[in-house]
């Protein structure tokens, strides 16, 4: 019989790099007054099960403190772990209590954060503009944490995209005024959890300890300070969740609690990346299993979310993080590769505890029905119903990309965008989708459109005026280039001015080129107009079928009407508004949002690939 992949690790416990003399609790503590009041505490240490005496418990368990009872002790395959089920009654008070052990263990129940979820966990809505930051590549605010002794990756080399560069949470905090002025309302950070891997740790997606903010980013205290500063500015912050996998140096991989903690295979099996297998009524079971249970990469072991201990570990960590740090919501990585019933449980636990919290999932798929399957906002008559609030709208990304890079045709060019939005009927509320032009895994949109300024400004215009919640990637507000070939590191370059030694500082107008400033001003003008625009933040969308490469759509509410015109043809167009009287009736003037100029309502001339945004006036 073939050995199970990674099972050999059980025979290597004595060689582990973590301190076996220590005892660790996960979650590290909990809170009084939480709805999730039945917690499962993972205890990890060298032969820790020997420290737990045989305890005789009554029908209601063993009382540990008033309102707190131990209901079950789980001894598992690996003696380095025990799992303790603890019930916390509504009348339980904050404080420290003893756990049954030979080592005098104590566990803390803390008072809840002020507001009980009303002053944090604020969620996301159509009034928001999300700014995605890779912390290692944005700004170095604290040089003392650039290298941390004892961590596996000691690289610090800004001359290569493969090493760490030293950006951190303090660097982000230092530039909150810049982001606020830009029109940003919400930060989404690529993962900030410890990634004690040997290399390529800049991206953060290979966790090694869920309960520790990476010290090279500043650690727990820097994260708290950043979140507090964000909230003081009236902004929000989202954390990147990774439920599907961990890094190969995660403590639960180096020292498996049990064989089925991970999805095990007779030999290494990578996911097939076929999202269709999840919902295809004709799919084979093996295709579906490989899709969901195959590993993302060799360095990222796949967690078995059907294992109840794994499920509790992940759900409790999500709740713990919101209460511990006060984040406002989650972006969920590789959503379709997770066990979807587990994800429903996790999403529900978060929304039960925090009614205003918002979760949006990465759905890197091709096809509107594919994407809608993973979102609660769909009308499809299917057996599985997701409760995920929002998805990353890759379909609109492909649409706007075709609109600005391909010739106009029956299904090509801007018709791809029009057709994509025409399929919004599959969603109950498509305005919840997060729309974007690029991110940390995709070529920079400025490079995608061949560094053509008119095309790029048209893309930004669409992003800030279409339906949905817009998300921009750091540096897209200036002329940032980069492609994923030969490596995705080239779309993760440093923000100029984020390091003391940088020759230019593009956080300031003095440091920007003329091209940078034109992009910045265009984006900031539209983004700040959008903040208070009832049409763009809460209005309906009406689009007109493109003609000869010209695409016209309206965002409108009872209080305001905004008209957007895009010329995606290769020649200048004189556009008559006669076809759009359904939306223009009652108006006689139009205000150009970018220039502030007011014109009589009439013909509009646009050069190739230019766009314009107008507020219609009586």
By annotation, the residues acting in catalysis are: 333, 362
* Residue in 393, 523, 400, 398 with CA at minimum distance from that of residue 468: 393
| Sequential DSSP letters for 264-305 | --SS--B----THHHH-TT--HHHHHHHHHSBSBTTBPBB-T
Contact 543, 553 (CB under 8 A): yes
- Pairing of the two strands 561-567 and 611-617: antiparallel
Contact 238, 331 (CB under 8 A): yes
Cα–Cα separations (whole angstroms), residue 192 to 135, 248, 376 = 8, 17, 28
CA-only gyration radius of the chain, Å: 26
Contact 431, 360 (CB under 8 A): no
Quote the strand ranges of 407-477, DSSP E. Answer: 434-436, 469-473
d(CA 378, CA 385): 9
3-state secondary structure of 168: coil
- Tell me the torsion sign for CA atoms 537, 357, 524, 492: negative
d(CA 438, CA 132): 10
DSSP character at residue 2: P
3-state secondary structure of 470: strand
Count of helices and strands (H, E) across the chain = 16, 26
Bridge partner residues of 360 (DSSP): 331, 390
Quote the strand ranges of 437-581, DSSP E. Answer: 469-473, 540-547, 550-556, 561-567, 573-575
Quote the strand ranges of 318-400, DSSP E. Answer: 329-332, 358-361, 390-391
d(CA 428, CA 529): 27
């Amino acid at each position: 019989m073939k050995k199970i992949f990674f099972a050999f690790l059980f025979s290597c416990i004595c060689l582990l790099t973590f301190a076996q003399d220590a005892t660790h609790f996960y979650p590290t503590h909990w809170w009084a007054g939480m709805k999730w009041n039945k917690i499962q505490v993972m205890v990890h240490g060298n032969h820790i099960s020997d420290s737990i005496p045989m305890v005789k418990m009554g029908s209601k368990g063993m009382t540990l403190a008033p309102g707190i009872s131990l209901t079950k002790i789980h001894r598992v395959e690996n003696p380095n772990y025990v799992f303790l089920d603890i019930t916390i009654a509504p009348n339980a008070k904050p404080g420290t209590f003893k756990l049954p052990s030979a080592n005098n263990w104590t566990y803390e129940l803390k008072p809840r954060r002020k507001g009980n979820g009303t002053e944090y966990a604020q969620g996301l809505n159509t009034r928001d503009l999300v700014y995605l930051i890779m912390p290692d590549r944005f700004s170095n605010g604290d040089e003392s944490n650039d290298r941390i002794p004892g961590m596996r990756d000691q690289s610090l080399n800004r001359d290569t995209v493969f090493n760490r560069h030293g950006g951190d949470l303090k660097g982000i905090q230092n530039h909150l005024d810049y982001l606020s002025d830009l029109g940003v309302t919400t930060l989404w950070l690529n993962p900030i959890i410890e990634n004690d891997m040997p290399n390529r740790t800049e991206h953060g997606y290979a966790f090694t300890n869920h309960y520790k903010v990476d010290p090279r980013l500043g650690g727990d205290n820097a994260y708290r300070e950043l979140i507090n500063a964000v909230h003081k500015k009236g902004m929000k912050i989202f954390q990147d969740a990774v439920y599907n996998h961990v890094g190969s140096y995660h403590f639960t991989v180096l020292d498996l609690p049990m064989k089925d903690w991970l999805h095990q295979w007779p030999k290494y099996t990578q996911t097939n990346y076929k999202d269709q297998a999840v919902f295809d009524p004709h799919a084979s079971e093996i295709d579906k299993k490989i899709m969901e249970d195959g590993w993302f990469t060799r360095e990222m072991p796949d967690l078995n979310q059907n294992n109840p201990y794994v499920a509790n570990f992940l759900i409790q960590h999500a709740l713990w993080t919101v209460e511990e740090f006060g984040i406002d919501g989650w972006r969920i990585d590789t959503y379709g590769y997770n066990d979807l019933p587990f994800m429903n449980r996790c999403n529900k636990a978060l929304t039960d505890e925090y009614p205003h919290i918002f979760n949006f999932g990465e759905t890197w798929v091709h096809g509107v029905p594919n994407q809608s399957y993973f979102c609660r906002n769909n009308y499809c008559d299917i057996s599985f119903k997701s409760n995920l609030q929002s998805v990353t709208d890759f379909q609109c990304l492909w649409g706007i990309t075709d609109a600005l890079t391909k010739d106009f045709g029956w299904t090509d060019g801007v018709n791809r965008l029009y057709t994509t939005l025409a399929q919004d009927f599959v969603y109950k509320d498509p305005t919840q989708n997060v729309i974007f032009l690029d991110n940390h895994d995709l070529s920079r949109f400025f490079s995608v459109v061949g560094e053509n300024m008119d095309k790029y400004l048209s893309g930004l215009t669409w992003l800030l005026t279409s339906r949905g919640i817009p998300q921009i990637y750091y540096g897209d507000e200036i002329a940032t280039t980069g492609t994923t070939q030969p490596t995705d590191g080239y779309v993760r370059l440093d923000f100029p001015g984020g390091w003391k030694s940088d020759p230019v500082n593009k956080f300031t107008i003095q440091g920007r080129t003329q091209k940078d400033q034109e992009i910045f001003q265009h984006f900031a003008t539209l983004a700040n107009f959008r903040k208070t625009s009832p049409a763009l933040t809460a209005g309906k969308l009406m689009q007109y079928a493109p003609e000869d490469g010209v695409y016209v759509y309206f965002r409108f509410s009872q209080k305001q009407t905004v008209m957007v015109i895009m010329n995606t043809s290769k020649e200048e167009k004189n556009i008559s508004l006669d076809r759009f009287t359904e939306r223009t009736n009652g108006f006689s003037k139009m205000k150009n949002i970018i220039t502030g100029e007011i014109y009589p309502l009439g013909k509009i001339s646009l050069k190739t690939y230019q766009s314009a945004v107008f507020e219609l006036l009586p």
